[in-house]
Amino acid sequence: MPRSLTRRTALLAGISATLLAASACGSSSSGSGASGSGLTEVTVALDWTPNTNHTGVFAADQLGYYEKQGIKLKVVPYSSTSPETLVAHAKADFGFSYQAGVTYARAAGQDVVAVYAPNKKGTYAISVSADRDDIKSPKDLDGKTYAGFGSPDEGPLLKYVIQHDGGRGDFKSIALDTSAYQAVYSGKADFTIPVITWEGVEAQEKGEPLKSFAPTDYGFPDQYSVLLAASSSYLEGNPDIAKKFLAATAQGYSYAAEKPQEAADLLVKANAAQLSDATLVRRSQQLLADDGYLNTDAGKVGAQDASFWKDYGSFLYENGLLADADGKALTAEPDWSAYYTNDYLPAGE
């Protein structure tokens, strides 16, 4: 799925600036500028196939919120070039990312900054098949097999949670990408890390329900599992357009919080070829709305919390997971306030 896969695949693209620049050369150029309709075209790069992380943007487009702001939306489909790369090299104006993705990319010297948080809490969980009576809490994962995605942050996260539940933090690990979920369903692996608002719902639909443990219940810092990012260059050069785009986007996510079923249908309508399971989309969107994930509180719609960046960022740094443009581990913790901004969000939303 969306976030759980791309949070692993995108991060490795941020290590080498040379490779990033080369990969961006083949991507479509940013569409900023006046279109034939008199609207300013703004490009948004997806981080995976369309899903409920993206609902607010598609709803805003379908409902005419962008047009009212003088904007024509252009969606850049997911490709092998990460959204962080496209944004940093001016091949897209905005891109869907996640906290670790922005952190890896910016630490490596890319011009990427998070500007909008659709969710106010993370959607990742540590999950096992619901019928695993031998696994009652994370400490029971000692000695078990983890089906993962090859990202360096997975092991430290799991070790932290298991140890804080009283375990040793010893487990086997195999990298399977999206096959990880099937490996857990079939019993070939014991646990994985899904996005609970998508794969968790999907597993329930398939009759393979999961039993999940929230890392934050064991002291692990929360993180933004979905973000919209832009480059500082774009924001500084187009401040008014950026603010108008985010104002319309905020309306779209607020609509999704207030009318999840209608918003889900708009997402499906805009992406009928990719989203064949409308029931999954509706259930996912309803869960996001009902369980308080959507970041639509009055006065701070889409705002990012400094504590998220400090606490989770420090975890990545202290575990030696951040590298510079030359691939060398950072020797000083970054100034996390440079990794995100709330300056372009609509006032009083």
pLDDT, position 31 = 46
Q: Are the C-beta atoms of residues 47 and 9 closer than 8 Å to each other? A: no
- Whose tokens are 């901004």? That residue is 341
| Cα separation, 298 vs 300, whole angstroms | 6
Residue type, 80: S
Task: Return the exposure string of 232-257: e unless at least 16 CB atoms fall within 10 Å of the residue's CB, then b.
Answer: eebbeebeebbbbbbbbbbbbbbbbb
| Cα separation, 47 vs 155, whole angstroms | 23
Q: Which DSSP helix (H) or strand (E) runs through 57?
A: helix 55-62
Neighbouring C-beta atoms of residue 330, cutoff 10 Å: 15
Beta strands in 46-90 (DSSP E): 71-76
- Give, for all 349 residues of the chain, the pLDDT tens digit: 334 434 434 444 433 333 344 333 333 334 456 656 799 999 999 999 999 999 999 999 999 999 999 999 999 999 999 999 999 999 999 999 999 999 999 999 999 999 999 999 999 999 999 999 999 999 999 999 999 998 899 999 999 999 999 999 999 999 998 799 999 999 999 999 999 999 999 999 999 999 999 999 999 999 999 999 999 999 999 999 999 999 999 999 999 999 999 999 999 999 999 999 999 999 999 999 999 999 999 888 999 999 999 999 999 999 999 999 999 999 999 999 999 999 999 986 4
**DSSP secondary structure string for all residues of 231-296:** -HHHHHH-HHHHHHHHHHHHHHHHHHHH-HHHHHHHHHHHTTTT---HHHHHHHHHHHHHTT-B--
pLDDT, position 162 = 98
| Cα separation, 217 vs 248, whole angstroms | 34
Backbone angles phi, psi at 169, to 5 degrees: 85, 25
Query: What domains are defined for the chain?
Result: 2-121+224-338 (3.40.190.10), 126-218 (3.40.190.10)
| Cα separation, 324 vs 108, whole angstroms | 4
pLDDT, position 312 = 98
